[in-house]
Chain A
Amino acid sequence: MTSVKIRFEHVRKEFVLRGEGGGPGRHFIALEDITLDVRSGEFLALVGPSGCGKSTLLDLLGGLTLPTSGRILLDGRPIAGPGRDRAIVFQQYALFPWRTAAENVEFGLDIAGLKAKQRLDIARHFLDLVGLSGFADRYPHELSGGMKQRVAIARSLAYDPEVLLMDEPFAALDAQTRETLQGELLRIWRATGKTIVFITHGIDEAIVLGQRVAVMTSRPGRIKQIIDIPDVLRSEADDVRSLPEFGRVRHEVWSLLRDEVLKAQQGQLAAGAGARADRKVEEVTHV
């Protein structure tokens, strides 16, 4: 349990924004000096203000983009591209609408070239695991948001990746469904022993799910602090949200985040004012 699964070493990610009207591009630093270890089998929650580069971090882990500098090691080897050892669960489900629930779960297995019979058996097993046994033949448009996300989770588990990357997977769901799915996810995590990196902007969600909660700063995204969640809050039986300890940890994370949220808002206001000023200049020149 103590071996390092994922290691970020001084990771920095920079984007070149396209300049307006074809002007020279502006550099935008999304992530700066991210150094972080994720242990094997750990459930790590990443929480940060919107626009702090959480999703960029996940894209890097998924191998969809490469860091500008620094490196990310998975089992000691640098990540060079997407791989079947990692799975991503997206906020918008990203189910294939032309495939039934079972066929969606089969997608990764289909890609790997498994036989239809095997695929179906595995798909049924994982649909059972997420509580959707009777819904194998439904198309995504016939499922509720919570059920779609269950299918997406089953799909990412089906090809047996070692790491599950989750990008605000429950953000689009109603509060009740979200809580149910949080419980289910913890159950699945305990049952499968996957390493999970879970991105969220919800403090409660981060504390309920994560063994550790990493708080990120706003632009550029850095790891501000990592908070260990005490064992009392990891109980399966209790309603952990009602424990006094929960309130204490929540306040700790909240205080860390508050400054960042304020900073992010100020940044946005400044940017907005800048854009308005630009427009004014433009108007003047056009007149």
Chain B
Amino acid sequence: MSSLDMLTLLEVAHERREPLTSVESPASPVVDRIRAAARGLAAFGHRSLLLIALLAAWEVAPRLGLIDPVFLPPFSEVIAAGWQLAQTGELYDDVSASLLRAMSGFLISVAFIVPFGVAVGWYARLGDLVNQLIEICRNTAPLALLPAFILLLGIGELSKITMVIYSCAWPLLLNTIAAVKQVDPLLIKSAQTMGATRQQLFRKVIVPAALPTIFVGIRLASASAMLVLVASEMVGAKAGLGYLIINSQYSFLIPQMYFGILGITVIGLAFNAILEALERRFMRWKAPVTA
């Protein structure tokens, strides 16, 4: 019982600490709240220090003439241009076009490629059959295929979504295959001794054990989706953030161009935040990395 006792003791000690400290400092709740807010603000400031400095430099450098303001307008002008774009409705069209393409391509890819990758990882024969093809395809840069896709599928939505699907496929596929193959053989052995059938083994051991590595593939795929989407929107499109960026540059509407770039960043961050939240939701059982 030694370890057990230790643990409970530690827990008792841990719980005891909180009431003790609150008794020691009988400050009013308002002061406490202000202090907490200040501490939170300070923490945020500390973490965002570099970002704030960068934005400040962006604002100040063109104004002081350190950089030609025609080519790098101050941050505030970029935001103002974005505000105008939003008011004319142009921004909404571009963002929704980009989001639709990125999301549909990404989701289609996940829906088809993850199950396929699980199958390839699980059935060794299937793996032997497709490995060579996977190796060739994944080393063909998706952007190199863009002209071919445009020739074959036109410059409409089809070629762009296909590009996204294609570029998402490889990180998804490789990570999923690796995830299934890397499942700890001891867990499989353990489940088998408890009488798990092949199907149960698959459902109750392989899939949950593979999930974290599959998620790595999903995050990589989402980044890849944005990259390829912007590039393909620059080549031939009538809407989308990639189109906004390249078209603004051609029309010399430089603040709009920068706003388009910021838009891409924000969408990428939002994608990542959603995926991280999903990951936390599904993988609560994982030991925190910073423990």
Residues of A within 8 A of B (CB): 62-64, 82-84, 86-88, 90, 92, 94, 96-100, 107-108, 110-112, 131-132, 139-141, 144-147, 155, 159, 176-177, 180
Contacts and interface: CB of A to CB of B under 8 A. Distances in A.
Interface in B165-209: 184, 186-187, 189-197, 200, 204-205, 208-209
Contacts of A99: 285
B4 A141 contact: no
Which 9 A-B residue pairings sit nearest by Cβ, starting from the closest?
A141-B287, A94-B190, A108-B194, A98-B285, A84-B195, A146-B3, A98-B208, A139-B285, A88-B193
B281 to A, nearest CB: 13
Nearest to A146: B3
Contacts of A147: 3-4, 7
B22 interface: no
Given A84-B195, A86-B193, A139-B285, A94 B2 contact: no
Q: How large is the interface on B (under 10, 10 to 19, 20 to 34, 35 or more residues)?
A: 20 to 34
Contacts of A83: 195
A240 to B, nearest CB: 19
Interface of B: 1-4, 7, 184, 186-187, 189-197, 200, 204-205, 208-209, 211, 283-287
A144 B4 CA distance: 9
Contacts of A111: 191, 194-197, 200, 204
B3 A96 contact: no
A96 B193 contact: no
B3 A159 contact: no
8 contacts: A63-B193, A64-B193, A82-B192, A87-B193, A87-B194, A90-B189, A144-B3, A146-B2
Given A82-B193, A98-B208, A180-B1, 5 more contacts: A87-B193, A87-B194, A107-B194, A146-B2, A159-B194
Contacts of B189: 64, 88, 90, 94
